[in-house]
Every structure is written in structure tokens, then in C-alpha cells.
A and B are shown apart, each in its own frame.
Chain A
């Protein structure tokens, strides 16, 4: 069974760095074709893809946020991470991680975590 769970600080202040962890089970980020992505959703709004990291350590970033994002992984501990620098209130959102199996069926984000709520406030 594939599961993912996001964790983060809950609340942080403007200008700080947001650090998020995605802990998962049922798959490995060292397996060919596996990628983990971060997606966020402000309250009442749509989904915004942020970043992706894959088995061979390739990475992709949303161009509108690229300068502030860093994605990484720890394959030994089945975790993926996202850092967002210089946060402001616009970064307040639910943050999700999701798995994609590029060579599988379906080869889309078919497993999502429950989401971690992040509030940026002074």
C-alpha cells in the first residue's frame, strides 16, 4: 500500500524559510521511474505544482517560484523535502506531496498525501 504524509512547521513568520518533509511508504525513490512532487493549494483556490524530484535525481521547478525552491530526497529513509525561502502571506496554503510512476499505469500522480497546513503570519 502506497502512503505519503506531509509534515511542516504549521506557522512561520514572513521572510523565514519553510521546510517541508514528505514521508512515504510502499515505494522507493530509488526505483526507476518514481518521482515525488510538491503541490500547494491556498484555501478555497486551485492547485499549484511547485517542484518534482525523480529516481535519478533530476529535478523540476515551477518557473514562477524557481528562485525560492529547493527539492531534495533521502532515499534511505523514504523522504522527500522542499524548502521555500523568503516566505510571505501568499505562501499560506495546504502543501501536498504526490507520487508519480513514470513507467507505470497509470503514469500520473496517483497517490497523494493528506496535506500539511502552513500559515505565514507575523
Chain B
């Protein structure tokens, strides 16, 4: 099984700040990595796929990068509506998936 280690578990940042969340896979996942945003009471929403492709309708302040086993999500110029939990997910095999443990982003 592929394990996903996501950090940090929680993050406090100010409006306008840049934040970075990281995910490390236990083996090469060939950029088959997605990032989801989840607000309380809602389903996860796709932000990034293929490690660095922005999903439709997602603001350009969100970006993804990485390859091999190391990936990151960056949010530029943090907005109040970005307060949420963020999860990475590997999908290297279409019959086997793993999520990171999540990062809870709050405003300082």
C-alpha cells in the first residue's frame, strides 16, 4: 500500500500570507496526486490534479507542484474563504487510493 504523509496537521496564517502544505508518498506516484479542499459540513472539492493542474473554477492563487514522492500545495495571498481543511490523495492505481491525514487551515 502507498502511504501519504501530510504536513502540517494544522496551520494558522494571516490574510494575504502565503501558505504551503506538503505531502510525501511512500513510493513514486508519478504525479498522480490531487488536492482537495473541504469546508465544514461540505463534501471535498477538487483543487489540483496531476500534481500541478488547476481544476475548473479554482482561483489562480492555488498552485501545486512536485514529482516522485514529494508534493506541495501553495496558497498565495490567503483569503478568508480559504479557511478549510485540505487533503492530498494519490491515485496511481485506479483501484487503490490513499488520502493524506489532512491540514486544518485557520486564520491568525
Chain A positions near chain B (C-beta within 8 angstroms): 35, 37, 39, 46-49, 52, 54, 58-60, 63, 96, 100, 102, 106-110, 112-115
Q: Are A106 and B96 in contact (CB under 8 A)?
A: no
Query: Can you list 29 A-B contacts (CB < 8 A)?
Result: A35-B95, A37-B97, A46-B99, A46-B100, A46-B101, A47-B36, A47-B102, A49-B89, A49-B99, A52-B95, A52-B96, A54-B94, A60-B94, A63-B1, A96-B43, A96-B44, A100-B94, A102-B94, A106-B53, A107-B49, A108-B46, A108-B49, A108-B91, A109-B46, A109-B89, A110-B55, A113-B43, A114-B43, A115-B43
Chain B positions near chain A (C-beta within 8 angstroms): 1, 34, 36, 43-46, 49-50, 53, 55, 87, 89, 91, 93-102
A residues in contact with B91, CB < 8 Å: 100, 107-109
Contact of A52 among B87, B94, B98 (CB under 8 A): B94
Known contacts: A52-B94, A102-B94, A112-B44. The answer to whether A46 contacts B87 by CB under 8 A is yes
Q: How far is the CA of A39 from the CA of B36 in the complex (A)?
A: 13
Q: Are A106 and B44 in contact (CB under 8 A)?
A: no
Interchain pairs with CB closer than 8 A, number? 67
A100, chain B: closest CB distance, angstroms: 7
Q: How far is the CA of A37 from the CA of B1 in the complex (A)?
A: 17
Q: How far is the CA of A20 from the CA of B36 in the complex (A)?
A: 24
Known contacts: A46-B101, A47-B87, A48-B99. The answer to whether A110 contacts B94 by CB under 8 A is no
A residues in contact with B53, CB < 8 Å: 106
Q: How far is the CA of A45 from the CA of B44 in the complex (A)?
A: 13
Q: Are A49 and B46 in contact (CB under 8 A)?
A: no
A53, chain B: closest CB distance, angstroms: 9
Known contacts: A46-B102, A47-B102, A63-B1. The answer to whether A106 contacts B49 by CB under 8 A is yes
Nearest residue in B to A102 (C-beta to C-beta)?
Answer: B94
Q: How far is the CA of A96 from the CA of B94 in the complex (A)?
A: 17
B residues in contact with A39, CB < 8 Å: 99
Contact of B55 among A59, A63, A106 (CB under 8 A): A106
Q: How far is the CA of A58 from the CA of B93 in the complex (A)?
A: 12
